Amino acid sequence: MTAPLDILHVDMDAFFAAVEILDDPSLQGLPVIVGGTGSRGVVASCSYEARAVGVRSAMPMVEARRRCPRAVVLSGRHGRYGEVSRRLHEIFEVFTPIIEPISLDEAFLDVSGGHRLFGSSMEIAEAIRARVAEDLKLSCSVGIARCKLLAKLASRAAKPIASVSGPLAGPGIFVVDPERELEFLHPRPVSDLWGVGPRTAERLARYGIATIGDLANVDAEHLVRFVGRSAGAQLHDLAWARDDRPVEMGRPVKSVGHEETFAVDVHDREQLRLEVTRMAEAVGSRLRASDLGGRTVTVKLRYGDFTTITRSHSLHRPVASSAELVKIAAALLSGADVHPGVRLLGVSVSSLETRAAASGEQLSLWEPAGGETDLASAARADLDAVVDAIRERYGVAAVGPAALVGASGLRVKQLGDSQWGPSR
DNA sequence: TCTGGGGTCCTCTCTCAA
DNA sequence: TCTGTTGAGAGAGGACCC
């Protein structure tokens, strides 16, 4: 008996670009590119008219504009996409509670419990597509298979095809027959496998491994030597369609961070100190909004030649206060070389704990740092709470550290701001 | 072509303690 | 007391995903 076809992968078609066209119908039929509009921006999403001339997501915007000079380039509206994504999620919830969101525009669904009410997986996929078209006026592609790997590849096979005369409709729904899984899987390039990016694909190519079928026929022990222990074992299983990963709901957040690429490389240490202050402040706000604290603070720098370094410091207790995060991040930055010029700067916090979990073993998430009085600590927590409250009411730019006034301004980065590169 | 920003996970190296 | 082994944890780097 074969396993049931209960895993659906739903993927919106050209999501960000499609939402922009939905909100401004005059864009219909035009090549639309959403992404970072500056010289260092990248493409986040593009319409099929843009894809027809070779524009792809993650492509540098300079190259995208070169390939498609008549494209309408938009910087994107993360808030709006989030709103549509929530409505999409509500549609999924009609059919199953077991949903694993992958990003704003795609998710895995386990529909094993929905057959009695909604019919076969094919009928559920058809119903989801109909609801998305009717309620959101958007289109999506659905892959149906026995496991996540195959469902994901199937949704790709269901997609429309870009052509110079306009997008050609795809099947919309693609089912991988359990009897013909390897026939479907093995001719595909290794890069179609989850975990094989450009580097690994290049390494495998050196050993003559180009397709998933090639990979399947390599001895598992050899594979471990090529790509490492963990990846080797996993890739060999995936190449034989052995994938028992369940559809996971509500995976906990492991880290919270902000990073930003500057329009021009920054050499001035004082300017970098102000930027790191701004970012640590923003990370602190987000942590407190989620009632989280973290034990490890990491500062990341990328230089002009793209080499990237990180400097981190772990504490014995979680912190969420902006003042403490700023202090630690600034100290980490001061130990890093900024001479070559910094292209990107980032601050992140990991080893997260919720306040409830932390208070079980600690005095509190905002327990005083070494040498600090309870009074100072309490005052700092009060200050954070007041700042958070003012920002919630009047916006993020309403209040912030005095050091930032007149420098880069009270610009506190928000999730989704300049998401795809600097605006200049 | 010249490469974003949100993340997760893995590997290697070093240190320290048992 | 010294030496070797092992395991845990931290720090750093890198690959990957959307």
List, for residues A201-240, the tens digit of each pLDDT value: 988 988 899 999 999 999 888 888 888 888 888 899 999 9
Name the residue among A289, A295, A286 with its Cα closest to residue A257. A286
In the complex, which nucleotide's C1' lies nearest to the CA atom of residue A298?
C11
d(CA A322, CA A394) in angstroms, rounded, equals 19
The tokens 């990237």 sit on which residue? A308
CA distances from A231 to A146, A218, A228, A308 (A): 22, 14, 6, 23
First to last CA, chain A: 59
Q: If you average pLDDT over every residue of chain A, what do you get?
A: 88
Cβ within 8 Å of residue A191, ≥6 positions away: A197, A198, A201
Asked if the Cβ of residue A317 lies within 7 A of any atom of strand C, the reply is no
CA distances from A45 to A60, A105, A276, A286, A423 (A): 12, 11, 29, 26, 17
Positions of A marked active-site: 106
Residue A320 (CA) to nucleotide C1 (C1'), in angstroms, measures 46
The tokens 């001719």 sit on which residue? A187
The tokens 């090549």 sit on which residue? A31
Domains of chain A, earliest start first? 1-178 (3.30.70.270), 186-239 (1.10.150.20), 255-410 (3.30.1490.100)
How confident is the model at residue A247, as a pLDDT?
A: 93
Under the banding of pLDDT at 50, 70 and 90, the label for residue A362 is: very low
Position A319 pLDDT exceeds 60: yes
In the complex, which nucleotide's C1' lies nearest to the CA atom of residue A422?
B4
In the complex, which nucleotide's C1' lies nearest to the CA atom of residue A231?
B10
Residue A253 (CA) to nucleotide B10 (C1'), in angstroms, measures 18
Asked if the Cβ of residue A105 lies within 7 A of any atom of strand C, the reply is yes
Residue A305 (CA) to nucleotide C14 (C1'), in angstroms, measures 16
Average pLDDT value for residue range A336-351: 92
Asked if the Cβ of residue A155 lies within 7 A of any atom of strand B, the reply is no
Q: Strand A32-35 relative to strand A72-74: parallel, antiparallel, unpaired?
A: parallel
How confident is the model at residue A328, as a pLDDT?
A: 94
d(CA A129, CA A118) in angstroms, rounded, equals 14
The burial of A88, by beta-carbon neighbours within 10 Å (0-12 exposed, 13-18 middle, 19 or more buried), is given as: buried
Under the banding of pLDDT at 50, 70 and 90, the label for residue A412 is: very low
Closest CA to the C1' of C10: that residue is: A314
Residue A26 (CA) to nucleotide B9 (C1'), in angstroms, measures 43
Residue A153 (CA) to nucleotide B3 (C1'), in angstroms, measures 26
d(CA A87, CA A128) in angstroms, rounded, equals 12
Closest CA to the C1' of C12: that residue is: A310
Asked if the Cβ of residue A81 lies within 7 A of any atom of strand B, the reply is no
Give A142-161 pLDDT, tens digit per residue: 999 999 999 999 999 999 99
Contact between residue A144 and residue A173 where contact means Cβ atoms under 8 Å apart: yes
In the complex, which nucleotide's C1' lies nearest to the CA atom of residue A41?
B4
Contact between residue A340 and residue A303 where contact means Cβ atoms under 8 Å apart: yes
Angle between helices A322-334 and A269-289 (to 10 degrees): 150
Give A66-80 pLDDT, tens digit per residue: 999 999 999 999 999
